Chains A and B, each alone.
Chain A
Amino acid sequence: GDSVTQMEGPVTLSEEAFLTINCTYTATGYPSLFWYVQYPGEGLQLLLKATKADDKGSNKGFEATYRKETTSFHLEKGSVQVSDSAVYFCALGTGGFKTIFGAGTRLFVKA
């Protein structure tokens, strides 16, 4: 069945370091791909999305490219800030109103 696998955390970085969080997926058809972010004590919120192969989603300095050939949607940011500390979820939309979430990756950014 459809599934999402993302790298285990926690990931600990110093401020201004480069961030990569890996995400791969298994799906039939042509899913949409998403990254959601959850700050402490809050619900998940959409960070960025891509709806077809080779699309790049971007927001708040974060980017991810929909790679069909490698079934991947890795999240990257060139220079992280303390305020980026959160849990990041990769997800895919399968159609039929269902969203499949990865397990989440916790990011800690140290000043």
Chain B
Amino acid sequence: DAGVIQSPRHEVTEMGQEVTLRCKPISGHNSLFWYRQTMMRGLELLIYFNNNVPIDDSGMPEDRFSAKMPNASFSTLKIQPSEPRDSAVYFCASSLKSSTGELFFGEGSRLTVL
């Protein structure tokens, strides 16, 4: 079975550019999470969706960040405009409703903003 699929795996961009990260959750999972991982701050939850609806976006750092889930098999995390401090690894994870806490992570998208 396919796991959580993220793209791109690596992105290098210049400050001010728009960045879009993509995620395909595991089929049948109805919760989706976006995390950010840095050395300084560890793993941070940015936003999570249940049945394609954003439930909690309190972790989104500022208005430059936005996330959408137009259907059950696709989500995007957008940063516009990007800044060097956004450099991090961004993970998408999905889970079944009945398995609270048991998350399945993608391999991550490593973002470098110059």
Residues on A lying within 8 angstroms of B by beta carbon are 31-32, 34, 36, 41-46, 49, 89, 91-99, 101, 103-104
Contacts and interface: CB of A to CB of B under 8 A. Distances in A.
Interface residues of B, number: 23
Contact of A97 (B31, B91, B106): B31
B41 to A, nearest CB: 10
Given A93-B100, A94-B100, 10 more contacts: A32-B102, A41-B107, A42-B107, A43-B93, A45-B105, A46-B104, A49-B102, A97-B48, A98-B48, A103-B42
Interface of B: 4, 31, 33, 42-43, 45, 48, 50, 55-56, 91, 93, 95, 97, 100-108
A27 B37 CA distance: 24
B56 A98 contact: yes
A43 B43 contact: no
A46 to B, nearest CB: 6
A46 B96 CA distance: 14
